[in-house]
Structure 1
Amino acid sequence: MTVTEPTPLHPRSQPPFHQMVREIVGSDVEQATVDRITAVHAAELRQKDTQLDSYRRSEADAHAQHWVSWRMLEFVQSTMSQQLRRAAQLHARCEQSATIIANVRRLVDDAQNAGRPVSVVDLQLCLSLLDVRPVLPQTMLAIVPDHAYTCGVFEGNADGAPVTYRFPYYGVALVTTNTEPERITEPCFMAGERILTASAIGQQMGVTLKTYE
C-alpha cells in the first residue's frame, strides 16, 4: 500500500506524524491504525495550539488594557495638572486685577481730592508699582476721574478708518471707528474669560463713569 502524507492541520503538525508512528509501531500494523493514531495526535496538538493561541490573545488583551489604562491615567494626570496651573494663573490674574483696580481707585481718589485730572505720569507710576510696563507713547491719553477707562494707546489714523485703543493693564484692545476716544460710550475689556463693560469696571472701582452721547 502506498503511504501518502496527509495535509497538515497546523504548521506544528510537521514532520508528518504517521511516518513517526509507522517507525514506532513497525511495518506490521495496518495503515488504518497508523492513520487513527496520527489523527488523534494531530487533534491533541491542535487543541494545545488553540489553548496557546487563546493564552496569547488573553495576554495581548491584558497588555492592551493595561496600556490603555496607563494612557488614561497619564491623560487624567496631565489634565488635572493643566487645570491646577490654569486655576493658579486665574487666581494670580484676579489678584493682580484687584490690585490694579485698588491702585487706580486710589489714583482717582487722589486726583478728585486735588481737583485735577489723572495724568499719564500718575498712571505710569501706578502701573510701575505693579511691575507692569506698558508702552506709553505720546499718543497715550490722559484720563480724568469721569472716564478713567478711556486710557489706552492710540493706533491708526484720524481719517475715519478703524483705530485701536490698547489697554495694556487689561491685556486687550478696543477697536472702533470713532477717532475721538472721549466719545467712546461703552468699551469692553477681558478679565480672564469674563467680558467686563466699562460700567462694570467703574462699579468695581467705586466711581461713576460718565456716558457720552
Structure 2
Amino acid sequence: MDKIVFATGNENKMIEIRMILEDLGIEILSQREAGITADVIEDGATFEENAMIKAREIAKYTDAIVLADDSGLEIDYLNKEPGIYSARYMGENTSYDIKNQALLDRLDGVPDEKRTARFVCAIAAVFPDGTEEVVRGTMEGIIGHEIIGENGFGYDPIFFLPEYHCTSAQLPPEKKNELSHRGEGLRKMRVVIESKLKEASK
C-alpha cells in the first residue's frame, strides 16, 4: 500500500487532496496520472453511493489504494438542489459563472435566514485487500447575493460563510482546507488509511 490513486482528473481537486494527505508518506496520483481512462457512470442516489461506484470501478485497474469522492452543494430553499447533480446542473459544459448566476436568480428576494446551504463531500476508499470505507464531510453556510472571490472553484464564489464574512472563494487555500467539506472528509479518511497502514506493517 505505497500508492493512492484518486479517481479524478480535476487538478484543482488534486491540489487540495495533496495538501491534506501529503505527509502520509504515500505517492498520490490522479486517475489520469495513473494512466486509467475508465469512464464511470455515476448513477447512485446519494453522494456516498456515487463515490463508492467510482472507487470500485477504478480499483479494477490498479492494486493501489483507490479513493473517490462525490461532492456537491445542497441549498435548503431549493429542496437541496443541485445536490448530487451539482457538476451536471444546467449541463456539464455550462460554466460555473452561469450556474452560479442562475442559482442567485432563483433565490432573488429570499432572506438570508432561508438561504442556508452546505457543501457535502463523501469520500470512498477501496483497499487492495478488498475492504471498503466511506466517510462524509460537510461545510455549512448560506448562499450569498453576488459572485465574489478568486480562490475557489465551482460554487465557492456564491457560498458565504457568515462567521468569516466572506465566500469560500475568498478564503486563503490553507483556511479553506481547514474548513471545507473535502478537507473534513479527507481528514476522516486519513485516519482510516493510517490505521490500515498500521495493520499492514504488523
TM-score (normalizing by structure 1): 0.23
Structure with more helix by fraction: 1
